[in-house]
Chains A and B, each alone.
Chain A
Amino acid sequence: MEPSLFRLLLVAGLSFLAGTAQARTLNILLLANASTQDVIQKLIHEYKQQNPETDFNISIVQSNSITAKLNTLVTGGQPPDIVEITTAYIQNYAAQALDLGKYTNSQELLQRYMPSYRPFFTSGNKVLGVPIEATANGLFYNKRLFQKARVQVPRNESEVWTWDQFKQAVATVMRLPECRMGVAYDCSVQRWSNLLYQAGGRWISADGRSFVPEKIATEQALIFFRSLVATKLVPTSAWPGKTDAGQLFKTGVAAMMWSGNWQLKSLVDGGTAFEFGTTYFPKGAIRATCPGGEFFFSFENSPNKDDAAKFLLWWAQPEITQHYLESLGGSLLSPMSNLKVNYGKYTQYLAPMLSDLNATPDWVSVDLARPALNLLQNDILNELILSASGRESAKQTILNLDRLGSEALRSSSQAQR
């Protein structure tokens, strides 16, 4: 085709396209989650009514497959406009995420959220996305078994158990013949990290250069957990069997569950054959729980990034966040600082978790948000399992962790600009 004719057609075509680009469709990937996906879609619908020129193409993806799907789309040149993502993966996309600081005052935006959540969705000066809900780890207990064994759980913050008292309580309840398991403990790095933080340790040093810097605290956490597994206070089907803690707890023959507030909805709404409650985590050197949550973010290369940013900032308004959380029924926590959310029937269950959250130092979130932790999670978990099963001494585990962590930190710092 003749060059000038081609150019003419190209210009005509582009202007035609520009003219028809009035209604924009945002591609949004949501995580499959029975508790939240319908409510999110309801809110999207409300946004559409307020902003009729924006349309949404919603695709729901299983969260175990989200990295595979997302990486394929992004590397394949078709990034979605908005993605719902968890704390486990958001930092992986720090370099490619859309900086919301370009659309609003980032300081003001960050101020709305609790300091303990800010490390998750920031990277340097960049605001990666918008938190939509917050989670925290929590300790559940089987009221029926505890009452029968006549063991009292801490009623307020001053009665918080020490690690030894916690062990004692579980051991006493386990003496009941109808109690077949102690603490249903999820087999994951995140849940185990709880103990590390309670011991006063951390995965990565504050300057980001060394791995497990607090050797003594780490050793204490490893030895304590090993003792839990060795005395069957944590069942082997959980560590290293990797059976889901919720499943084990719902059998009704487990004394406690070390999990988080996300379990509440299915426990309360789905119902259990036994009465259950939540209580405070035991205290090691300090009290600590692990915060977490979910976020919306967009990509620098998203086709409709301006509209995506508009939607994200709409959600970041306190009224909207509150509206979302209350539509959920109150089982998920608010990530915002001064937001009074009505948690409804979940209030009593959330109270100890909120208290634990308040007592948790801010550096815990900074630690949990480190990308290196995500990249190494399988290797770290392997070491933790070896230690918990007694196949490796705690000292050896620390050496191994140090080695693989330092290697990873070194290579990731080399990859920095």
Chain B
Amino acid sequence: MNILQPVSRANQTQGFKVPTDLKQIGFRLTPYLFLLPTLGMLTAFSLVPLLYGFWMSLHNINVLHGRSEFIGLQNYFNLLHDPKFGLSLLNTAGYTLAVVPSIVVVSLAIAIFLRKSTPARLFARVGFYIPFVLSPVVVATSWKWLLNEDLGVVDGFLKWAGIATVPWLTDDTAARISVVVTTVWNLVGFYMLMVLAGLSQINDELYDAARIAGANPWQRFWRITLPMLRPTLLLIVVLATIHATQAFETILLLTDGGPANATRLVVQNMYDSAFVRLEPGYGVAQSILLLPLILFIAWLQMRLFREEKII
């Protein structure tokens, strides 16, 4: 095998052909048994509530009076005409498109840079992980204070350097950028871990052979690392997309969806419906409407990464 050719993953993803012989029916049960714990828990705590939630979304629930009235799909029709929902969808789309590539690039870069297990790099790994562990209150407060346009460090530095200050949290575009930066900062550690795990699967001998054959670091990255990381990359892209669509708490504390709804995402809209406007049926309807949409995007991403046929 020529080391400088992309490594083929063909022999690693076939899976098994399960014998269809009825005598081996016990054998066939195995995958289902292995899936039982996860499926059991998910059914009880995610899927059953979701079904109940769907039932809720078919009602106009009046929390104040404890009454609910069946209205069929009316909530869904209303959603299609709801400008606030539409705006939050647009904001979420923009946010996702900005966050996902940033996370992929940054986490890849950091993980590859911190691959070696020297003490300094082990320390750095912990350092990059720390923001992920902070609770949203702390993340939001610290960033909000740093980005404060009257007294914050960032604008203070800009002023000292003679550059114009930026209204980080009070201008629509700047606020969107601030929110994306804060999110990437917060989550990079999580994705870095996954890349580190994926990198550990790559056989060192491949790199040694490549080095002997004269490949430079860039070539080694493109021809060995990246292809071998494909499952991990898919993992990161799909997860980052899903997490981006569910972003809520940190942004709420940072900008409260402001200024003037520029950073208002879908989950905040749902929360507002359910707990401020006290229309829980309408709130759940939003999450149910979005579910197939996001699932479809995840499926598309899996196709794009040319995983063997998923569906």
Contacts and interface: CB of A to CB of B under 8 A. Distances in A.
Contacts of B255: 242
A382 B260 contact: yes
B6 interface: no
Contacts of B277: 375-376, 378
A156 interface: no
A59 interface: no
B183 to A, nearest CB: 18
A237 B148 contact: yes
Contacts of A94: 64
Given A71-B63, A95-B65, A415-B62, A385 B258 contact: yes
A389 interface: yes
A18 interface: no
B275 A71 contact: yes
A181 interface: yes
A230 to B, nearest CB: 13
B169 A96 contact: no
Given A71-B63, A92-B63, A415-B62, A240 B275 contact: no
B276 A378 contact: yes
A406 interface: no
- Label chain B's interface by main secondary structure: loop
B101 interface: no
Given A241-B149, A243-B144, A375 B260 contact: no
Interface in A230-287: 235-237, 240-243, 247-248, 251, 253
Contacts of B151: 180-181, 237, 251, 253
Contacts of B66: 95-96
Contacts, number: 76
Nearest to A67: B275
Interface string B64-81: 111100000000000000
A152 B287 CA distance: 56
What size tier do the contact residues of chain B reach? 20 to 34
Interface string A73-114: 001000000000000000011111000000000000000000
Contacts of B65: 95, 415
Contacts of B259: 240-241, 385, 389
Contacts of A371: 64
Contact of B276 (A96, A240, A375): A375
B93 to A, nearest CB: 20
Interface in A151-209: 180-181
Contact of B278 (A92, A240, A386, A389): A92
A150 interface: no
A67 B278 CA distance: 10
A64 to B, nearest CB: 9
B170 interface: yes
Interface string B258-302: 111100000000001001111010000000000000000000000
Contacts of A5: none
A377 B256 contact: no
Interface in A41-74: 67-68, 71
A391 interface: yes
Interface string A362-379: 000000000100111110
Contact of B256 (A237, A242, A248): A242
Interface in B80-113: none
Given A235-B150, A378-B277, 8 more contacts: A180-B150, A236-B167, A241-B169, A375-B278, A382-B258, A382-B261, A391-B260, A415-B65
In the A-B complex, list the 9 residue pairs whose CB atoms are closest, starting with the nearest: A240-B259, A236-B170, A95-B65, A241-B170, A241-B169, A237-B148, A235-B150, A240-B258, A385-B260
Interface of B: 62-67, 144-145, 148-151, 167, 169-170, 255-256, 258-261, 272, 275-278, 280
Interface of A: 67-68, 71, 75, 92-96, 180-181, 235-237, 240-243, 247-248, 251, 253, 371, 374-378, 382, 385-386, 389, 391, 415
